[in-house]
Structure 1
């Protein structure tokens, strides 16, 4: 790297939006490759360091700072294909979260349209614990745990103690699965599910609907942050690819 193209720590800080100390800390954590040291001990950075820091900022907004640090640090020890796959996995994860919330919304709408009297539900309209667990992609033991926590309850238990879940219980289970998958703790989920019991009298579904809409808004913001990081990530991977094709440490 030519001397005239070298960037000082303060230059990288200004271009990336981080403080000088943050740049040093993120280098120490492996978010960017180690800077070249000049004869007098000063750090000499390159444009790829700025792009890496900008990419990290977007990733931190999309997946959280800890996961973003882990992903960026891993880029420097993986092949280009592996690095690209790890970034693609973030897009997949956000899409999966969005789908879960959308399914929870659909379940809420279904529950709101259900009649208050479920005593006439026929066996064909119910699911066993095994069927419901498979539909939700969880273990039967997870449904039993939710039952113990008061989140989901079977609508009847046969003489052989086999559980049967009707439409309302199935819808509630879908909401629990979506909220748990979105990071809500058991107490928060219990509070939300409790509001469903007051659905028709106290406006319970409005609160649940608002929570789900807010979750979709946050997922959208994280997706936008990931898209903004895309250009810088592509530049980093291009530099990484060029380094693999040329001198081993050319990425610096």
Structure 2
């Protein structure tokens, strides 16, 4: 940020769109777009129609850019729009919902880790089984296994002579994983992406890297939300009282 822009901010002076843009590595068009979208408060106009911004706009832009990494562009936009139209309670509700979603994602990760940890080992010498024995092993009805099959969560082959379903070692592994996650309260459509990951990874063991990345992303979101909260609080503190 240039010394001239800094002085304007400190003194409460006016800023040109280019001043606001350069301070954040943006184009002037991006700044105008943010104003048009309601992310920034409406700018004042000179007698010749040129936009002029104030330190309040700088705080708004800083808050929005800080919110995006933790909350996403759409939610960050909705938060800023709500504040700028005076609906602060709605903005805070959106922040709370975003935090709740992060917590739910953490619970999902914990459930996945627990499900993988609690998987019974499949005997390597004989992994094939039929629907009845597998259902008894899991303590469920055969109809439940067939429902999971229709959902694509297990993919048993058919015996060419009898037409019976035959569950190989990988199918048993998938059924055990689905069973653990269902016990954790997760719906079939929530489980499907994980089963796809297990299959594409060639088993459970390679998923450790994916789980580490998942944990790292959640931690990064959590830290980003802290940064966004500080910037948002600063913006709220500079807004005039209603």
Q: How far apart are residue 105 of structure 1 and its match?
A: 0.9
Give, in whole Å, the separation in 2 of the partners of 1:62 and 1:87.
10
**Count of paired positions:** 206
Is 1:71 the counterpart of 2:70 in the alignment? no
Name the structure, 1 or 2, with higher relative contact order (CA <8 Å, separation 6+).
1
Unaligned runs of 5+ in 2: 1-10, 156-174
Give, in whole Å, the separation in 2 of the partners of 1:69 and 1:9.
19
Q: How far apart are residue 35 of structure 1 and its match?
A: 0.8
Structure 2 counterpart of 1:191: 196
Give, in whole Å, the separation in 1 of the partners of 2:152 and 2:26.
46
Is 1:207 the counterpart of 2:211 in the alignment? no
Q: How far apart are residue 175 of structure 1 and its match?
A: 9.1
Q: 36, 49, 52: which one pairs with 2:44?
A: 36
Q: Would the aligned equivalents of 2:82 and 2:88 in 1 still touch at CA under 8 Å?
A: no
Q: 179, 182, 203: which one pairs with 1:170?
A: 179
Is 1:61 the counterpart of 2:38 in the alignment? no
Q: From the superposition, tell whether residues 126 and 47 of structure 1 become closer, same or farther in structure 2 (CA, over 3 Å).
A: farther
Structure 1 counterpart of 2:160: none
What is the alpha-carbon root mean square deviation over aligned residues?
Answer: 3.7
Q: 124, 127, 139: which one pairs with 1:126?
A: 139
The alignment partner of 1:232 has SS state of helix
Could you list the per-position Cα deviations for residues 66-93 of structure 1 after superposition, in whole angstroms to 9, with x for gaps in the alignment? 3322332222234333322221222221
Is 1:228 the counterpart of 2:227 in the alignment? yes
Unaligned runs of 5+ in 1: 133-142, 154-165, 199-203, 245-252
Q: Would the aligned equivalents of 2:153 and 2:178 in 1 still touch at CA under 8 Å?
A: no
Q: From the superposition, tell whether residues 225 and 150 of structure 1 become closer, same or farther in structure 2 (CA, over 3 Å).
A: same
Could you list the per-position Cα deviations for residues 177-233 of structure 1 after superposition, in whole angstroms to 9, with x for gaps in the alignment? 49965xx9x5x544324358x6xxxxx212222222212211221222221111110
Larger Rg: 2
Give, in whole Å, the separation in 1 of the partners of 2:71 and 2:188.
17
Q: How far apart are residue 173 of structure 1 and its match?
A: 4.3
